[in-house]
Structure 1
Amino acid sequence: MHYVDAKSILSLKNGMNLYRGCTHGCIYCDSRSDVYGMNHEFEDVEVKRNSLELLKRELLKRPKSMIGTGSMTDPYIPLEKHLEYVRNSLKLIYKYGFGFTCITKSDLILKDLDLLKKINEKSKVVVQMTLTTADDELCAILEPNVCSTSRRVEVLKALNDAGIPTVVWLCPILPYINDTEENINGILDRCIESNVYGIICFGMGLTLRRGNREYFYSKLDEHFPSLKERYIRKYANSYSITSPNSEKLMGIFTKRTSGEGILNNPSEIFDYLSEFPQKSYQSTLTFK
């Protein structure tokens, strides 16, 4: 971990990254890609020391809207348990009447359930959770330093019980590893059980480019001997890696989500995530 001073904290579309880098160890992580220009080791997490000061200043200038985080770095990495940058940003989001959405794989989000509920009562909260495999043993290989799929399903159910809507990212789907009917049906079963609002899936596959490709291949050598060579033969240096089973698996995905009334169109889900409700409540509570 190391600290930096940032120049700003919100993007033009109200995206926020309090941390840069991650320790979850997901073998497929696109955020490792060289294109993002990270000039430090990925696991040496960059902490934006002045982020809360910047966030307060920027919230005061912006119209009420949804604030999002997690597109580059999971906001609930282990450091958050002690630093509480996300928790303190939630206090500001609540105070100034904004909404909140995030993408995470971590059950640490439940420690902020009190704040999430209050923001949701006042404006809107949507929690997005990534699920890649229904198999906890495989999950421990693909995403070694974060909670299991079964635990994430418990989190989804707890959020649903608290009245907080959820969206699942069903990705990535790795050819010859988790691109099976059993796996997709298993994930969908868990989404249905958890009463998720929507599932984002752009197709069955993943993306690879310089930086994350090399890391991914090193992990294939470690956990799936000879599979790297199969990838190289079939995909060479392609950016988009599509499962040979994509068409069949997407058919299953579309049929089951439509039948259960789960939103499955990415554009419609993104519209929902960015839509800010017209609510007006007084913020009088103090959080510890």
Structure 2
Amino acid sequence: MHFVNAKSILSPQNGMNLYRGCTHGCIYCDSRSVCYHNPVPFEDVEVKQNAPELLEDRLRRKRLKCMIGTGAMCDPYMHCEKDLKLTRRCLEIIDRYGFGLAIQTKSDLIMRDIDLLESINKKAKCVVQMTLTTYDENLCRKIEPNVCTTHRRYEVLKEMQLRKIPTIVWMTPDLPYINDTQENLDGILSYCKDADVKGIIKFGFGVTLREGDREYLYECFDKNFPGMKELYQKKFGNAYLVNSPNHNALMSKFKAFIRENNMLMDNQCFEYMRKFPEEKVLKNGIPYQREFEF
């Protein structure tokens, strides 16, 4: 872990990453791709120590309220956050200035900040996004080894449901020949239904591989899935998009589930997360809405 002073914290689309790199150890992580220029090694987390000050300066000067997004490139609740509390400090600022939040994580550490999530949701809008990829707990520990398992994340979703905080599930990626099964899909969908999630992001059944993440995935295959690397090399070569051979059948069932349960899907989820609730903003005493992207 190392500390830096960032020059800016919010992107033009109002997204922010408080850290770079990660310690969750997910074997499929796209953020390991060389093109993102993340720390090497990836576990040497870069901490943007001045992020709260930068964020407060930006929000103080913003003319209109909007949704602030975080968690797209690195998890805001990796292990160092427990002590550093950088994410919590930024949530306090978002709450204080009345902005909305769309936050994505795999970690149950988010429950530490449930008080702020509730407050943000009451004042504006808070959307919690959880990644669910692997229903089988033992398999999950191999694929996402250094973070809580899927069942615990489901419990977090249930806690959000009790507090009326809307949730979105990222059901991605799927590793062909490992967790691209009907049983896996059924299990995760049962969690989503029971937790009454608002929508599911699922652009397909498969995984993307680029320089950096492909090599790490294959190293992990050699440790936990003997012969899988050779199978991938034979079936997919150096393809970027690695689709499951079960894609069509699984996608058909997934779309049927979405329709039956009246949930949002893919781009609809992004549209929902981008919208700041108009009834929470007053301009000259008149409700006012403007959409921001992140």
- Would the TM-score normalized by the shorter structure come out above 0.5? yes
- The answer to whether residue 288 in structure 2 is matched with residue 259 in structure 1 is no
The equivalent of 1:20 in structure 2 is 20
Partners of 2:87 and 2:38 lie apart in 1 by 21
Q: Give the structure 2 partner of residue 225 of structure 1.
A: 226
Instruction: Report the AA paired with residue 218 of structure 1.
Output: E
Does residue 1:241 correspond to 2:242, yes or no? yes
Equivalent position of 1:110 in the other structure: 111
Alpha-carbon shift at residue 280 of structure 1 (Å):
4.7
Shift of 1:38: 2.1
Q: Structure 2 CA distance, aligned partners of 1:119 and 1:164?
A: 10
Q: Corresponding residue for 1:270?
A: 270
Q: Tell me, yes or no, if structure 1 residue 168 matches structure 2 residue 164.
A: no
C-alpha RMSD of the superposition: 1.0
1:51 partnered with 2:51 = yes
Residue 91 of structure 1 aligns with which residue? 92
SS of the residue corresponding to residue 134 of structure 2 reads coil
Which runs of 5 or more structure 1 residues have no equivalent in the other structure? 282-288
Structure 1 residues 36-185: aligned runs within 5 Å: 36-62=36-62, 63-185=64-186
TM-score, normalised with respect to structure 2: 0.94
1:61 deviates by 2.3
Q: Output the CA distance in 2 between the equivalents of 1:37 and 1:107.
A: 27
Counterpart of 1:213? 214
Residue by residue over 1:106-144, the C-alpha shift from the partner in whole angstroms, topping out at 9 and shown as x without a partner, is: 000011000100000000000000000111111100000
User: Match of 2:52, as an amino acid?
Assistant: L
Given that 1:122 and 1:280 are in contact with CA atoms closer than 8 Å, whether structure 2 keeps it comes out as no
Shift of 1:40: 3.0
Moved more, 57-66 or 137-146: 57-66
1:126–1:165 CA contact under 8 A, matched in 2: yes
Q: Distance in 1 between matches of 2:200 and 2:28?
A: 20
1:142 partner amino acid: I
Letter in 2 for 1:192: K
Q: How many angstroms apart in 2 are the aligned matches of 1:61 and 1:33?
A: 35
* 1:66-86 Cα deviation digits (max 9, x unpaired): 001011100001111111111
CA contact (8 A) 1:207 1:240 kept: yes
Query: What SS is found at the alignment partner of 1:249?
Result: helix
Q: Does 2:225 align with 1:192?
A: no
In the alignment, the residues of structure 1 paired with residue 104 and residue 250 of structure 2 have an alpha-carbon distance, to the nearest angstrom, of 24
Query: Mind listing any 5+ residue stretches in structure 2 that lack a counterpart?
Result: 283-294
SS of alignment partner, residue 264 of structure 2: coil
Structure 2 Cα separation of the partners of residues 68 and 101 of structure 1: 5
In the alignment, the residues of structure 2 paired with residue 51 and residue 244 of structure 1 have an alpha-carbon distance, to the nearest angstrom, of: 43
Cα deviation, 1:141-173, whole Å, max 9, x if unaligned, reads 000000011100000000010110000000001
Matched letter for residue 277 of structure 1: P
CA distance in structure 1 between the aligned counterparts of 2:167 and 2:38, rounded to whole angstroms: 30
The CA deviation string for residues 19-64 of structure 1, in whole angstroms up to 9 with x for no partner, is 1110000000000000011243210110001111111111122221
Q: Matched residues in 2 for 1:138 and 1:195: separation?
A: 25
Q: What is the rounded CA distance, in whole Å, between the counterparts of 1:76 and 1:39 in structure 2? A: 18
Kindly indicate whether the alpha-carbon contact (under 8 Å) linking 2:102 and 2:129 is maintained by their aligned counterparts in 1: yes
| In 1, Cα distance between equivalents of 2:54 and 2:271 | 27
Match of 1:10 in 2: 10
Q: Which is further off, 5-14 or 54-63?
A: 54-63
In structure 2, C-alpha distance between the alignment counterparts of 1:187 and 1:94, rounded to whole Å = 32
CA–CA distance in 2 between the matches of 1:173 and 1:204?
6
